[in-house]
Structure 1
Amino acid sequence: MSAIHYLVFLPLLAAAVAGLANKGAGSTLPKLVTTGALFASAALSWMIFLHYLGEGTEPSIAPVFTWIASGNLQVEWALRVDALTAVMLVVITSVSSLVHLYSWGYMEEDPDQPRFFAYLSLFTFAMLMLVTANNLVQMFFGWEGVGLASYLLIGFWFKKPSANAAAIKAFVVNRVGDLGFMLGIFGTFLVFGTVDIPTILHEAPSMGGSTIGFLGQRWDTMTILCLLLFLGAMGKSAQLGLHTWLPDAMEGPTPVSALIHAATMVTAGVFMVCRLSPMFETSHVAMGVVTFVGAATCLFAATVGTTQTDIKRVIAYSTCSQLGYMFFAAGVGAYGAAMFHLFTHAFFKALLFLGAGSVIHAMHHEQDMRYYGGLRKEIPVTFWTMMAGTLAITGVGIPAVLGNPLAIGFAGFHSKDAIIESAWAAGFPSAFWIGVIVALITSFYSWRLIFLTFYGKPRWAASEHIQHALHDHAHGADDHHGHDHHAPATGTGGYHPHESPWTMLVPLVLLTVGAVASGFVFHGFFIEPEAGEHFWRGSVAFNEHLMHAMHEVPLWVKLSATFAMLGGLAIGWLAYIRFPAFPAAFASAFRPLYLFLLNKWYFDEIYHFLFVKPAFAIGRLLWKAGDEGTIDRFGPNGFARLVALGSAGAVRLQSGYLYAYAFVMLIGLTAAITWFMVG
């Protein structure tokens, strides 16, 4: 077996071991096995990634076995490794290994730890299968695997009704996108006669201009195939229209949120579009749709994030918005920039989610930012690591302009600015301006989170979670130690947040390194014309001309994202530090707009009216009129009623009196004699 075999199958083996382990909070075997396996896979991933950075070798195929052999359909189970796969391997295993370690502290008191760690490792294995797929059927296996694992993890606390509802919602919404993905795979096999990805990508340019029958009409072949495949990407990566499952996925444990949003499920759609980029390049219509959907999602999610009060939901909508950036980068042809942002986003988004988990841990499971405040002195490590994540997502840096030969900044500065500049260079001014506006909004809601959580006066006393904690502590404390010798901070109600254990802080510190340095260190390999061409080596449709043009955009274009970032920071500081009464006044003055954003553009309500209520009405009709009123009435219930009526008649005849039986016998004998006489 090669390194890639160990890398991919170690998490599966670990999931099996953990899943068979004994239940109990004290069981360390599942944690040791799964965490050790993931760190081993991460080490192998970095070795492969650094190998591609240094030598830029050609893709390699590691066969596993023949999966399907049916007529023209030949599906080999094989693990494909190229530069694109190497990037995804690093993202998946690095974040997953740190999430496993973080979960040691976060899930310490949960009695179902073996099941949790088994699900985490299964999730990682499914994503690894997806990104190493050498054919579309194998990719679909991983695609559905991450869907299953997300269902299990989002609904991990299955005794909680909201968690069950969120898991079902994620599963159902993704099935809509997966239907498009399946149709795209079927159509691709129909057109190309194979599901082998390298063969399809090689022959895709020759199909330009051809047509195919679909829904009774003739359509451009590659446009239809790409749009169907992109529908699958929209569901998995929560793009506008199929995004509603993503915020509700916060019902799962916080480590799950970090894994879903940073490294696994939501990145699958972006990866798929980049993997099949030569197909998308053959259709201008499909590219335009990808750009439009990505830009619209980017703007929508950012606006909603400005009004949310749940710390995890703010970061969740941030993920949705950043995925929009990645898609519109792919739509304008800047696949290297899209993957670069996916790469950097994994580090700072995992950092923000795990940092939020540390805050929630310190605040006794309180997630409403309105009950935070003043935490920077109480949990300083969490504060500084989340500050680094915020500097990364908002794109803080110094552009290479005005005599500065080298752009220096946090991770998001290099990747997000590259996307915005690519949109301008590719001739998509609308996407460019949306990118700039969203950069301002992103800066605002990101700093709003920091200011509400770590600055201002403590507002902990108003939290029901804190009051429950104090109540439990008071009942469990010794009467002689009921009074604290230290005066509580104003508004704390006597509660003192505590820093997280080292198992949670170490992943935060390591992710901080990625959020700070990943953009500066690796930007040349992803987006520089010559270095990028050498690194990608055909694994994506790398447009060297566009990358040259991106570096030659006007000065004001280069500075636009930086000024937008500063504008968002200024607005956030004025609203939540300098004039803290302003947000409430603004919400009151513009209440319709505020409610529109607070209710997430009313997508859930619209879908409930258009789809959920009719589905339930049809279900009730089929249940009451169809099942009970027809099938049961004339089927088993009808026959049972006939039997009951027959038995009731028989009971009347079986009276038990001798004269009644003699009378019946006499009637029978008379009837028989009459029959024979007439006959």
Structure 2
Amino acid sequence: MLDYVWLVPLFPIIGAIINGIFGTKLSKKTVGVVACGVIGLSFLVSVLVFFSLLQLPPESRSFEKIIYTWITAGDLKTTVGFLVDPLSMIMMLTVSGVSFLIHIYSVGYMHDDEGYKRYFTYLNLFVFSMLVLVCANNFLMMFVGWEGVGLCSYLLIGFWYQRKEPADAGKKAFVVNRIGDYGFLLAMMLIFVTFGTLNFKEVFNVAHHNFQVGSLTITAITLLLFVGATGKSAQIPLYTWLPDAMEGPTPVSALIHAATMVTAGVYMVVRCNVLFTLAPISLTVVAIIGVVTAVFTASIALAANDIKRVLAYSTISQLGYMFLACGVGAFSAGIFHLMTHAFFKALLFLGAGSVMHAMAGELDMRKMGALKSHMPKTYWTFLIATLAIAGIFPFAGFFSKDEILWNAFQKNTVLWALGAGAALMTAFYMFRAVFMTFHGESRVDEEVAKHLHESPSIMTNPLVILAILSAIGGFVGIPIIKGANIFHDFLAPVTGEHLAGSAKVTLTNLAYASSTAASSGEAVHHSVGLEVLMMIVSLAIALGGLCLAYYMYIKNPSLPKRLAEKFKLLYQLICNKYFVDEIYDFLFVNPIKRGSEILWTFFDVRVVDGMVNGSGRFVEFGSSVLKRIQTGYVQNYALSILVGIGAIIGYFLFM
């Protein structure tokens, strides 16, 4: 079945083509069936490929399927090929599985929208691009998928382009991502110049055996790659596009935040873990940017009142956790959190969409309250997702978040402290959202309150499935007999390359040998008691955030307003997102606009238009001169002929 991995991205693009070309002639039901069906088939093939991969011994779980040679130019030879290994397998299952549920939900959510057929065309194209990105066997193919998700995010964020806000948000996402993509493009060029190839296995093999730790070339490559990751995964300083991306349809937000786009940067860093491990400076930068982003954006979510923007800043913060994991060398932990986050973040966004569906599009949590009795399925599933993201045992987020904090604690206590602070804020703002939306007194508009209802089953069924995954998904990462960890052992052939030292075996064998040695006791041991203690501390932090939110928004609901008045400057600073957008506008956007206007006024209008218009004026002047000669009088023409003949005779006589 490994030979058929190409079907995984093929099905979504077929769906996009069918709906894109024939959508106007198909019924809404047919469009929905086609769009959901192709993603379902993609997920089914991913499952079959997964079981085929499991049949191979761990050290051999890496398979390349070359479709054809794409580019041959000089030393550059690039193929259209797909790589099946544990990392790409986890991403394929996560992307196709979560996307399938979001597609089903979208059938109900977007049913009455005029752009229904266009929406599903874009959605299928989005999933296709992400699957190309995670299945690619070389940097150029990855870049194609990378740019594809960037384009689709622009199309879907600005889906309701008739309104100014979505159109502006789509442009902002596109432009900010291009800044990061420039870094990725430069990194790719430097990789080709350095290694003479863009194939993952060839690059990583040469890097592992021929470059020393701390190599300036590898450091430059990894820092440029991380610039690309900060754009796509919305990290400081390129995070500002993601909150504005909430202007798109809510299922799009779920797809971007959970299954596609923003996880691409994390995936790219983990895929290139061999390079990053050879560049300690780059890893330090990754860890610092990740943890600072986690804390910074979590603090903004504390005072946000738009339910989707709370979730948006939450996503940026959780992505910061993933980069923190990568920065401290815990690449498996980063992917583990990426997977669990996909479950509960998709659930949170779809739950928010269900609330909006009942509230006639209302997003302000201050105008909600007491929705629990009206929307029981939405409430309980949203609560499960909140328990998961807050890191409450035994939900999925507890295991992945705790593992990241433990690895950070082993490397640097400052990183752990900042990560723990972000965890406290996460628990607080998420339970704040739950209490403001579903509990307390109703603040719903009277007209809206008359029509409050639970969403239809086509929207709530995906919520239930995601709730189950959010509840039990973390157990795949629990150490079992003799300390074996199913998830980490599965990923070991990809994330353990840098631990080995033999130059005579493949990277996969190297990694497997290293991970086996580590699990058998040759690695550095840590205190089990200390790990349990840190786990208890982590859980206590999450419970502390829960209790604080309960006290402020249920037991003493007037307290938040009093605190906002007491700390007015701080509150305004947070509410205005630390004025980062305004600072960017002042330092970059406005000067670029003014510079563009100057260039337009001088170069475009005076130089370019001047040349074009000047040639026209020159011809006009010449024609006006000739026009005076063409009088229509025969005697004038005869005189002209006589003068001409005289000039010719004079020329020959005197020359």
Length-normalised TM-score, structure 1? 0.87
Q: Deviations over 1:266-288 (max 9, x none)?
A: 11111111111111111111110
* Contact residue 337 and residue 526 of structure 1 kept, 8 A: no
Question: What does residue range 323-402 of structure 1 map to in structure 2 within 5 Å?
Answer: 323-397=319-393
Q: Which of 437, 445, 450 is 2:429 aligned to?
A: 445
Q: Deviations over 1:443-467 (max 9, x none)?
A: 1110111111111222222xxxxxx
| Alpha-carbon distance in 2 for matches of 1:108, 1:92 | 23
Q: Which of 455, 462, 467 is 1:512 aligned to?
A: 467
1:39 lines up with 2:37 in the alignment:
no
The amino acid that maps onto 1:79 is F
Q: State the partner residue of 1:495.
A: 450
Residue 608 of structure 1: SS of its match in structure 2? helix
| Alpha-carbon distance in 2 for matches of 1:422, 1:203 | 28
| Alpha-carbon distance in 2 for matches of 1:672, 1:247 | 79
| Alpha-carbon distance in 1 for matches of 2:61, 2:584 | 47
The amino acid that maps onto 2:590 is K
Q: How much is the aligned-residue C-alpha RMSD, in angstroms?
A: 2.7
Q: State the partner residue of 2:294.
A: 298
The amino acid that maps onto 1:386 is F
Q: Which of 436, 459, 464 is 2:443 aligned to?
A: 459
Q: State the partner residue of 1:21.
A: 22
1:597 lines up with 2:569 in the alignment:
no
Residue 336 of structure 1: SS of its match in structure 2? helix
Q: Unmatched 5+ residue regions in structure 1? A: 212-218, 398-408, 462-490
Shift in CA distance, 94/518, structure 1 to aligned 2, threshold 3 Å: same
Q: State the partner residue of 1:423.
A: 408
1:197 lines up with 2:200 in the alignment:
yes
Q: Shift in Å at residue 620 of structure 1? A: 0.9
Q: Shift in Å at residue 556 of structure 1? A: 3.9
| Alpha-carbon distance in 2 for matches of 1:592, 1:497 | 37
Q: State the partner residue of 1:101.
A: 104
Q: State the partner residue of 2:318.
A: 322
Q: Unmatched 5+ residue regions in structure 2? A: 500-514
Shift in CA distance, 642/535, structure 1 to aligned 2, threshold 3 Å: closer
Question: What does residue range 303-314 of structure 1 map to in structure 2 within 5 Å?
Answer: 303-314=299-310
Q: State the partner residue of 2:189.
A: 186
Residue 383 of structure 1: SS of its match in structure 2? helix
Q: Shift in Å at residue 194 of structure 1? A: 1.5
Q: Shift in Å at residue 209 of structure 1? A: 3.8
Q: Shift in Å at residue 149 of structure 1? A: 1.4
Q: State the partner residue of 2:159.
A: 156
* Contact residue 369 and residue 439 of structure 2 kept, 8 A: yes
Q: Which of 562, 565, 574 is 1:588 aligned to?
A: 565
Q: State the partner residue of 2:491.
A: 536
Bigger mean CA deviation after superposition, 291-300 or 50-59: 50-59
Residue 317 of structure 2: SS of its match in structure 1? helix
Q: Shift in Å at residue 131 of structure 1? A: 1.0
Q: Which of 57, 60, 63 is 2:63 aligned to?
A: 60
Residue 21 of structure 1: SS of its match in structure 2? helix
Q: Which of 606, 620, 626 is 1:629 aligned to?
A: 606
| Alpha-carbon distance in 2 for matches of 1:195, 1:224 | 16
Q: State the partner residue of 2:507.
A: none
| Alpha-carbon distance in 2 for matches of 1:367, 1:95 | 24
Residue 441 of structure 2: SS of its match in structure 1? coil
Q: Which has the higher helix share?
A: 2
Question: What does residue range 28-177 of structure 1 map to in structure 2 within 5 Å?
Answer: 28-49=29-50, 56=58, 58-177=61-180
Q: Shift in Å at residue 45 of structure 1? A: 2.2
Q: Which of 221, 230, 243 is 1:225 aligned to?
A: 221
| Alpha-carbon distance in 1 for matches of 2:436, 2:482 | 36
| Alpha-carbon distance in 1 for matches of 2:28, 2:495 | 44
The amino acid that maps onto 1:594 is Y
Q: Deviations over 1:274-311 (max 9, x none)?
A: 11111111111111011001111111110111111111
Residue 23 of structure 1: SS of its match in structure 2? helix
Q: Shift in Å at residue 338 of structure 1? A: 0.7
Q: Which of 512, 523, 547 is 1:570 aligned to?
A: 547
Q: How many residues of Structure 1 are paired with residues of Structure 2 in the alignment? A: 626
Shift in CA distance, 24/498, structure 1 to aligned 2, threshold 3 Å: farther
Q: Deviations over 1:48-67 (max 9, x none)?
A: 44555676452122221111
Q: State the partner residue of 1:434.
A: 418
The amino acid that maps onto 2:412 is F
Length-normalised TM-score, structure 2? 0.90
| Alpha-carbon distance in 2 for matches of 1:662, 1:87 | 92
Q: Shift in Å at residue 182 of structure 1? A: 1.2
The amino acid that maps onto 1:28 is K
1:638 lines up with 2:614 in the alignment:
yes
